[in-house]
Structures are given as C-alpha cells and as structure tokens.
Structure 1
Amino acid sequence: MAILTRTTLAVVTLATSCLGSLPFVKHESRLSAPPNWEQSHRAPAETELPLRIGLAQPNIDRIGDLLLDISHPQSKNYGNHWSAAQVSETFRPSVEALDGVRKWLVDEGIAHSRIRLSNSGGWLEASVSVAEAEQLLKTEYYVYNHTLEDVQHVRCALGYHIPEHLAEHIDFITPTIHFNSAASQVRSNLKRRRTAAAMLVRQAGLPRSADVDNIENIASGIEHCDTHITPDCLRALYNFSFAPQATEKNSFGIVEYTPQAYVASDLDMFFDKFSKPQVGERPTFVSIDGGFLQTNMTGEDYNGESALDLQYAMALVGEGQPVTLYQVDDGDQSANGTSFNDFLDALDGTYCAVHRNDSSDNDGHDCGTVTPTWIISTSYYFSEQQLTDAYKTRQCAEYAKLGLMGVTVLYSTGDNGVASGGNMCLFQNGTESSSPEAKRFSPTFPSTCPFITGVGATQIVAGNKVSDPESAIYEGIFTAGGFSNFFAVPDYQKTAVQNFLTNHPPQYSPDIWNSTGHSRAYPDIALNGANYVIAVNGKFDRVFGTSASAPALGAMLYAINDARLAVGKKPIGFINPAIYSPAFQDAFNDITNGTNPGCGTEGFSAVEGWDPVSGVGTPNYPKLLQKWLELP
C-alpha cells in the first residue's frame, strides 16, 4: 500500500571542515514557519540541542500490505496479530544505516561517547551545540516565538542538508524544521468548541442554567436526545447493549495531554445521574513523560475534554470495566516536534528521546514502558500541512505497527469541516492561513493516515427522535472530512472513494481540493457528537465535537472485543479493511443529510454510501457484533 510519492532531492556540493568536498542534499524544507510562529533572532551558538536522527526502517514500504494481510476479513491470516518482538525485528534499521550515520557524525567531530543508539534502534542521538548542528546540517538556527502562548522553539530556518549518500538511510532529523503545534492547536480548538456551544445555547434561548434545572428529567429517559445527549441516548441510537464476559482480558485507553485534566468530583456528579453504580470509579492512571492531573488551571478549557472523554467512555462500558487514562505531559515542546510522538514513545520506544532541552536530565521520555490497550481513542488532531512529508510518513507507520499488534487506533477527525484547526485553509503555494483569500481545503492529521480510523460526527435533527435518521453535525461544529494532500488512497478504500467521485462528484474546482481520486479520504466512520451532557467544574453543560464521537465509538468496539475474547478469538485490531468490505456494508446507518462547510464553501455532502462527511455511516451495534463474531 503506497504512502507517498517522494520528490526528487536537489543535490548541492558544500565544503565541510573534515570531509573536504562532499555532495549534500536538502533533506527537508518548508516554505515558512507554521501559523502563529514568528522568527525572532539567531540562536546562540552555544545553545545545546538534543539532536536525533531517525534512521530509515527496512520493510516499511510493505507495512500497509502486511497490515492488510491480518486485517482484511477475507484474508486467511485475519487476526494473526504480531508480537512486539516481531514488529521490532522486521523494522529495525540496518547495520549499514547505523554505521554510515555514526561515521558521518564522528568524522564531523562528534565523539563516539556523545552518540547513543535509542532503545528501539531507530534513532541515533547526540547532544550538540547550535554551532555544531549548523555545521552538520548546513543550515542556520533561530529562536521562534509563539504569538499566542509563552513558548519558544529553537529551529532551523526553512530547511537542512545531509550527505547525499546517507539520504536513503535517514528519515528526518530533529530539532530542525518541525514545530510542536499540537498542544496549542488543541487548546485553541477546545476553546473555540466550547465558545460555539455557549453561543448555540444562547441563540436557542436556552441559558446554561436551563441545562442544570432540567437535568433530572433529561437523565430519566430518551425524550430529549435531540437537544441533550446522554449515555442512554447513545445506547438507543445504536442499539448498544453490553454485558461483559471477558473483563480480565480486555482493555480500553483514553489519551489526554496535560494541562487537560479530569476532576474526580465531576466524574461522580456525572455517574450519580447517569450510572450510579460507578460513583467512586476512576480510570487507571498511567503517566507518560510526567503527565499529571494538574489543578492550577481549571474551567472548561482545561477540564472539559477529559470530562467528556472519560465520562462517556466509562459510562458506556459500565461498572467494573478497565478504562486506562494515558496522561501525557505536554510541557516539553522543544525536542520532538509534536506531542503525539511522546505517547508513541511510551508504547514502542520508536520515538524515544533521552536528552531533553531542559535542566532535568533524568525526566526523559518514557521509552517502551507502557503496554498499549486493545482500543485507543484520541480526541486531538492538527493540520496535515504543518508537518513535513518524512515526519508524517514515519509517524503514520507507527500507527500501522500498533495495528499489526492488534490495537485499534481511533482519532477524532476535527471540528472545522474542510478546514483544519482554527479554520485554517491553504494558499496555492501550500502555506496555511485563516485569511479568506486562502481557498484550498486543509486536511487534518492523523485522520489522513491510512493506518488509523478517523471518526466524524453526526447529530439528531432538532425535533426528531432517536429512531429517526441522523444528519451530519450542523450545530456548534462541522465534522472534518475530505481528501489528503499527501497520503495515497489505501487499497481497502479505493472502491468507496471511486463510487463517491463517480456518483456524487463535488462541483469544486480541482485547485481547491485533491480531486485526483488517488488520495486517502476521511472520515472512515461517524457517531453522534452534538449536545453531549457532561459534568464539568461542578455543573452540567452541553458540548459538541468529533472529540465526543471517538471515545463513544471506542466503548462500542471495546464491547465487541469483549465478545470475541470471551469465545477465544483475538481483538478486532485495525478495523478499516473490515468496515469498508462488502460484508459489512449493511452494518451501518447510512447518513445522507448534511455537509461539512469550510474555506468559503459548503464543503462536501453526505450521500448514499461512503462520503467524506460521515464515512461509512454510524454503527448498528448488533449487526457489527454479529459480523465480527463470525470472523476467525
């Protein structure tokens, strides 16, 4: 399964202090810094950098086919998941790559004692000065300031070079041109979503206090599901009923990034109304890189996401079921580029960092210290455009490795329709902006990675019942969906994409969206994401977002895993090849109403069959359960 088409690297010849005349190539570059980052001044030459060189991994070009072989329901190897050792052995960089890159560093004056191979074997690491990094990479480093937050990065300007003969052995190097945009964008998205929810309540003539006053009636039935979603509403919408049988074998993980944190009293307030036996229950807390439940900053911006994810994940799986909270520290924004890597560090060590660009040498990243749960839901996302090609490729492959081991990885697609976070769209040269002059659709990541399941959002139309067809969400947010500008369409999705483009071709100029029919499309699946009642900071409120849809879907897939595990079968693992297969087509509620506006357009339309608004549709739980139980 193809991931990308590599561009030809321009060769330049640069003089080096120790190697004489050696051909170099520009390995990565970008047109400009991401939005909200401004170049300030040259970085001091003596500043220490945690230089990390990602070594190319053998067999990585086959990873899509290997994953499809154990994930497609018609494959004889369906469900034959790999061990972690098998994954490590298959993709461990070659001795040639390791020796070649190490020799380059040593020849440039970096002593052997300063070079370390990461636990995974995927990275060579060395603490170097800015002056040494500039000499190694033929670039210049600057200090960049974030315009909205008190954050600085030391990054090189626009691009860097490596010896031509090593280009095939190096994926990318950090810190160079990669910026940690995830944390700031997540918080701005969260703030915007909460603001949109508050505006909706006021426009509908329902002040926030009305939610609190009516909570007893809302908690007692499903008559108000068009305006207030509760766990019972979701059960009724998708015919979801769950009686656990294999609790000790099952697992479900929710990922959060500090300073986002849940409040224990809010959990109990929610459970008291919607799942009384769970009062006092807490998720299993796993700290990654020092992640903790901070209490200094409170309010919906800091507690709302965790409240939403955990309250619904835990209530839907029910009393006594293990829900793990992966709490990741988002404080160090200097070394790895984006926080998703910190989480991946802990699962398999591939992105392990040893040297941190701070004074606390021993609080380095957790490396392969956490066993992944069978289901992992993440309600965070960022722009595909903000990451370099090599970076996206490498991180996407890490999700494929999890799929090989039987893990289902869910990501919310985003809340800005065909735009990315902050309503960003693209100019024709690829730069991202919120300006109305930027017209090109901007996909979100990791939703465009073909090895994860992207989850979009639907809602009950105002005045309708839970038994009526849903619409694509149109209140508060618009579900993200569209076509990647980078990743190729995976084999499992080709028929669905071609059917959509043939039968319902969008009437937009091809210069504002990827109309080729050869790119990865998203979302894969959808679930209600509007009017969720949550308890946050001691009161009940309503919230909106694909961030609601992902953990709710995760709970249902957890229940399917339970049923399979109870009869001695394997977890469902990577679900995309199954849900796109003909055998599963009648296991979804087709969404044929609504659009996902953005970038000055109405976006795409929900139509019969798969579409880039609602994916294959919303789950019909009993049918999905039956179909997965019929598989080996």
Structure 2
Amino acid sequence: MKVLSLTFALVLAECILAAPSKDIAHKVKETVIPPRGWKKHSPAPKDVTIELRLALPQPNFSELEKHLYEVSDPTHHRYGEHLSKEEVEELVAPHPESLRLVDEWLVSHGLPVESFIRSPAQDWVKIIVPVGVAEEMLDTEYHLWVHEKSGKSAIRTTSWSLPEFLFDHIEVAHPTTYFPSTKSMTATFHISPDVPPTEANAKTLLSSLDVPSAHNGQVDPECNNNITISCLQQIYNMKGYVPTQTHHNRIGLTGYLEQFANIADLQSFYAYSRPEAVGSSFNVVDINGGQNSQNLSEAGVEANLDTQYAFGLTFPTPGTFFTVGGSPPIDIDNHTPTNTNEPYQDWVDYMLGHPNPPQTVSTSYGDDEQTVPESYARRVCNGFAQLGARGVSLLFSSGDFGVGDGNPDPETQVCQTNDGRNVTRFIPTFPATCPFVTSVGGTIKIPEVAVDFSGGGFSHLFSTPSYQQEAVNAFLQQLPEGTYPGLFNPSGRGFPDISAQSERFIVFVGGQRGHVGGTSASAPTVAAIISNLNDARLAHGLPPLGFLNPLLYKIQHSGALNDITSGNNPGCGTQGFNATAGWDPLTGLGTPNFGKLKDIVLRH
C-alpha cells in the first residue's frame, strides 16, 4: 500500500476543489448484453460495499511479451533466462500520469489514499466502496441479477463509463459487466461407476498391451478399466523416476468454490496407489478467505482428484493447494453480499506478489469464453504471461463439453452468441484459450484415442499465436472446404496444446473409492509430468521450463509427444473436430512421453 507525500496530497486537494469529478462528462467504456439466463432482480442497495478493482494500462506489455517468448524458445540464446519479480513489475507498471490521474479521481470521491490496495506493479488498484459511490464514479446503476436455472446471484451492471480525462488510463473496472459463469466455474469432472472386468475381456487381461511409447513398451491391460498412479507412469514412460530436488522444486494446484482437498482421503489413496507416500501431505495456502475443511462429508471431488494424482505422481516433491475464496451467493432478501469478485484475479495477484511461486501449477476450472468480457479476459491472460516470464508453467483443463456450451447433453446445447445476435457458433473455454497458458485435452483407452468430451477449438478473443501458427495452419488446410462455416474462428488461438488420460481415474472421496473423469484429470497429470521434468532440469543445474508452448510446438515431430489420430469432440449439433495426424483441436499435439521429453529438456 502506497501513501502519498504531504505535498502531493495538497496538490490533489487543490485539483479536487478546482474541478469536482462529478461535474465532468463521462464517456461509455463498456456495454454488454447479459448472458443468457440472467434476469435483473432489483436495484442493488446503495450502502452495500463491493471490492472495486481498476486496471491501469500496461504501456510496456509488448516488451514483456517479447521477453516471454525469448526465454521460452529452446532455439533462442536466452532460453531459460527467466525474469525476476522486480523485472516483471517494472515492465508492466503503468505510466506515472495514469497513477496520478486515477489517484486524484479516487480522492475526489472521498476515498483516502491510504485505503487503496495496489498490486505489486501498481497496475491494479482495489478499493472497497459502497455501491452508491461506485455508481457515481462509473456513471452507472448496479442491480441484483439472478440466474434463473442455477439460482446464482450477483451485483452487476451492463454498462459503465469514465470521465473523458480518464478514458485512456483505466482499462478494466470489476465487478461491472463480468457475470459469473452459469456453470458456477465448477470443476470439469464426471463420476462413473466402478465396473469390474467382464468375461468378454478376461482373456485380454492375461497379457500386457503393446504400446511402443510406454515404459518398456507395455502397459498393464487393467489400465483400460482403472487408471492409477502406476498406469500413468507406464503409459507416459515415467515409471521408476524419483524426484530429488525437494528443496528447490514445487508443484501447485488451485481450488475454487469451496472445493476442499481432504487429507484423510489422500492417505487412503496413497495406501491404495502410492504406498511409499503414506504419511506425507501438502501445504495449504488460503487466498481471499479460501478454506479447506477436513470434514469428510465436505471432501471435494475435484480437489481430491487434483491432489491425489498431481502430488502422487510427483512424490516427494512438495505440493501446495491454493484454496481461493470469492463469489459466494448473495442473500437477495437480506441484501448481504460479502464479495462479488471472481477468483482468477485474486489468485493471479497473490502469485505475482509471491517471491518464489511453485514452478508448475495446474487449474481445472473454466468459463464459457463468451461470458468473460474481453477487457477482463485480456488482463487476466496478461497476468498469466507475467508468471510465465518468471518461469512458472501454467496448465488449464480444456473443458468437458467438446465444442459445445457446457450443457452435458450435446443434443440440447444452445451454442449461440450472447451479444444479442443469437448467432450459432462453437463455445470455447477460458482461460484455456489464453495464449500464455498450456491447455490440456483428454484421451481414453489403451492405445489412446481422443475422448469425446475433450474441449477444444478456436478462441474468438485471442488470435493464433506465432508459436502454433504452422501447426494450426496444417490442421486447417486438411479440413474439407466449407467445414462448419461461421461456427469457429480459424484465425483464433487453437486449443488444447497437449492431452492425457481423462477417464476412470480411481479416487477416494469422503472415505469412498470410485471413478472420476474429465479433462480436470488430464491437467494435473500433465502438470505432474512437467514438474518431474523440472526436477530433472534442476538436478542438472538448469532452470525450470517456464512457459511451455514454444517448446512443445518446436518438438512436435521429435517423437516425445504421442500423436493421437482417432476420435472427435461433438457438440452444438455437430460431430465437432476430428483427431488427425499433427495438432488438432481436441488432443493438441498429443500425449507426453516423459522419457523422451527428459532427454530433450536436458539438452537445452
């Protein structure tokens, strides 16, 4: 928190007396049509407080992006020379004029400078204000909105404005037009029953499956029924690897919406699938009031899946579970909302302020991209770029609804734009579409094929980044002319980038053993593999991998990625995209071969 000097405070007071901001003309900054299903309930109470975040422009972000690509490109002489926290903050810091004007404006609304909460780079400022004050500042009206199907509620507006002199000095105001996802940002998982081997496949179970890329070229056939730690080690050629850099390497997982990771369940899982890890646990970091109840009845399927596999595959590497609060329900009758922010930015703020964040982080949550205002999506994505420049590998699950809109039944998906035009098109998932993260799709069976729910496609917000231009063009060129006209953006960022097994993972939840699936199983699996690659690099005196995508696309044809060429991801009344040779928008570049990847990353 910064405190202005007495001289500057006096200057501010003179400016305020000379030109009260409430008399200055406003100009509309952003207007949206509320996402489908949201209905205006009533005016928001004027005295209810909200945490209002303001994002100031980052005039040198293009320079940071240049650094990011150089230190992430294995053919560049700067590969692995990640930036320090201070170097990143200097590159994204706002112009002093933006700081001055925004501070003056906030003070003019009766907000003391000492109450401002700033991000480490000062490119975000957070203030706690009554709704009535926020409405005056942004020349808008807040309302309580309710989602008819889910019952979720939020304080939001559909349009906001700024004084003209501030128009180029504030990029985002939040919460304003970003409505919570109708999926409540729930983790992408499927629960499947425990199915014992049938007589029909009994003979198959007597012999191993030949998989040339796997450990010793074979995989236990039982892995077609139950995915365990051993199965993943076999399939991805990682069996026998034991991390050694436990004082330097760390892996992190994020948990949102009261998804609690249960330690008793973890011990049961370890006893079943990783006996040598029994007795070990993980660190818990709470952000913005996040909790991690250890009541077995409150154990989260997603949180347990993530911790059991990411930490089980990387044992004894230290693991951290980030439990993030935010976006609780609003009691409309009592008008007592306690927080109206979405959790992504809270987590990014924490990580950017951390002097030594985990080198690998997996997240299995997402929104329909079209429900996230472009200004907000780009700023969150830019935050991910800052972490990548500092050497952090960020992995996000690609989603569980194929090319569809989050409705589990492909036949009833709406798949229409929420901009008032109601145009039919595929619905990509954010943050998986951010070009500065690694998006993870899903596979199934041995040998592997694409799973039909694997989220994938092309962003409508972000253009195709240079590192994947060649791979995406190759896919588009083999599509028959006229395929899905208008349903996807061929100039958009293609996702996912990579994939892994995503069905029939054995987990323990609430003291019970069962199966879980989804790309939320794929993401922590790939994250664990990346963490072990970081371990190998650190053991050889090399820096962590950091932002992965430039490396992955450079080694596409090296044999270190198992190309998946069968399967499709239906949705929106279509068959979706097909898995093909090379990159495709449901399995990306394929699945990882740890042994070959290790050989490659130790050469750079």
Change in Cα spacing, 1:583 to 1:233, as seen in structure 2 (3 Å) is closer
Question: Greater CA deviation, 403-412 or 54-63?
Answer: 54-63
Closer, same or farther in 2 for the Cα pair 1:332/1:225, shift >3 Å?
same
Q: Which amino acid aligns with 1:457?
A: G
Distance in 2, matches of 1:275 and 1:49, equals 45
Superposition pairs for residues 480-519 of structure 1, below 5 Å? 480-505=455-480, 507-515=482-490, 518-519=491-492
Aligned to 2:450: 472
1:322 corresponds to: 318
Q: Where does 1:385-464 land on structure 2 (aligned, <5 Å)? A: 385-423=370-408, 425-428=414-417, 430=419, 439-460=424-445
**Range with bigger deviation, 602-611 or 250-259:** 250-259
Q: Structure 1 length normalisation: TM-score?
A: 0.82
2:16 alignment counterpart: none
Deviation at 1:531, TM superposition (A): 1.1
Pairing 1:563–2:560 present: no
Deviations 1:436-465 (A, max 9, x none): x873101001110000000000011xxxxx
Partner amino acid, structure 1, of 2:597? L
For the pair 1:381 / 2:380, whether they are aligned, the reply is no
- The Cα offsets for residues 322-377 of structure 1, whole Å up to 9 and x where unpaired, read as 111112224657656321222112112xxxxxxxxxxxxxxxxxxx3574200001
Q: Structure 1's 536 and 117: CA in aligned 2 closer, same or farther, altered over 3 A? A: closer
Q: Assess if the C-alpha contact under 8 Å between 2:359 and 2:544 holds in 1.
A: yes
- Is contact 1:376–1:410 with CA below 8 Å preserved after alignment? yes
Alpha-carbon distance in structure 2 between the residues aligned to 1:228 and 1:88: 46
Distance in 2 of aligned mates of 1:291 and 1:47: 22
Cα distance, 1:548 vs. partner? 0.5
Superposition deviation, residue 563 in structure 1: 1.0
Deviation at 1:616, TM superposition (A): 0.4
Q: Which moved more, 1:582-591 or 1:303-312?
A: 582-591
Distance 1:453 1:472 in 2: 18
Unaligned runs of at least 5 residues, structure 1: 1-16, 207-213, 215-220, 349-367, 461-465
- For 2:401 and 2:481, the matched residues in 1 are separated by 18
Read off the aligned partner of 1:580 and give its amino acid letter: Y
CA drift of 1:161 comes to 0.9
2:209 aligns to what? Answer: none
| Cα distance change of structure 1 residues 611 and 136 upon mapping to structure 2, 3 Å threshold | same
What do the CA deviations read for 1:519-570 (whole angstroms, capped 9, x no partner)?
A: 1010000011111111222222111100011111111111111111011110
Match of 2:178 in 1: 178
Provide structure 2 residue ranges, at least 5 long, that are not aligned to the other structure. 1-18, 199-204, 206-218, 330-337
Contact 1:336 1:342 in 2 (8 A): no
Q: 1:527 to 1:94 in 2, by over 3 A?
A: same
Q: 1:66-145 maps to which residues of 2 (within 5 A)?
A: 66-107=67-108, 109-113=109-113, 116-120=116-120, 121-145=122-146
Whether 1:523 and 2:525 are equivalent positions in the alignment is no
Tell me, yes or no, if structure 1 residue 611 matches structure 2 residue 584: yes
Q: Secondary structure at the match of 1:457?
A: strand
> C-alpha separation between the residues in 1 aligned to 2:571 and 2:557?
31
Which sits farther off after the overlay, 574-583 or 377-386?
Answer: 574-583
1:260 and 1:370, CA in 2 relative to 1: closer, same or farther beyond 3 A? Answer: farther
**Residue 339 of structure 1, aligned match among 343, 359, 368:** 343
Q: Equivalent residues in 2 for 1:50-69 (5 A)?
A: 50-69=51-70
Measured in 2, the distance between the counterparts of 1:573 and 1:142 equals 42
Cα offset for 1:128?
Answer: 3.2
- The aligned runs of 1:146-161 (5 Å cut-off) are 146-147=147-148, 151-156=152-157, 158-161=158-161
In structure 1, distance between residues paired with 2:596 and 2:119: 43
Structure 2 CA distance, aligned partners of 1:428 and 1:48?
Answer: 32
* 1:200-235 alpha-carbon deviations (Å, 9 max, x no partner): x68x998xxxxxxx9xxxxxx822111211111111
Change (3 A) 1:597 1:535: same
1:169 is matched with 169
Whether contact under 8 Å (1:506, 1:604) holds in the other structure is: no
Aligned length: 554
Instruction: Tell me which residue corresponds to 1:286.
Output: 285
Secondary structure of residue in 2 paired with 1:344: helix
CA displacement at 1:21 relative to structure 2: 7.0
Matching residue within 214, 226, 229 for 1:228: 226
Give the partner amino acid of 2:568.
T
Structure 2 residue 259 is matched with structure 1 residue 270: no
For the 8 Å contact 1:425–1:442, the answer to whether it is kept is: no
Q: Once the 2 structures are TM-superposed, how far is the Cα of residue 510 of structure 1 from its aligned partner?
A: 2.3
Distance in 1 between residues matched to 2:277 and 2:417, nearest whole Å? 52
In percent, how many aligned pairs have the same letter? 35
* Shift, 1:313, TM fit: 1.4
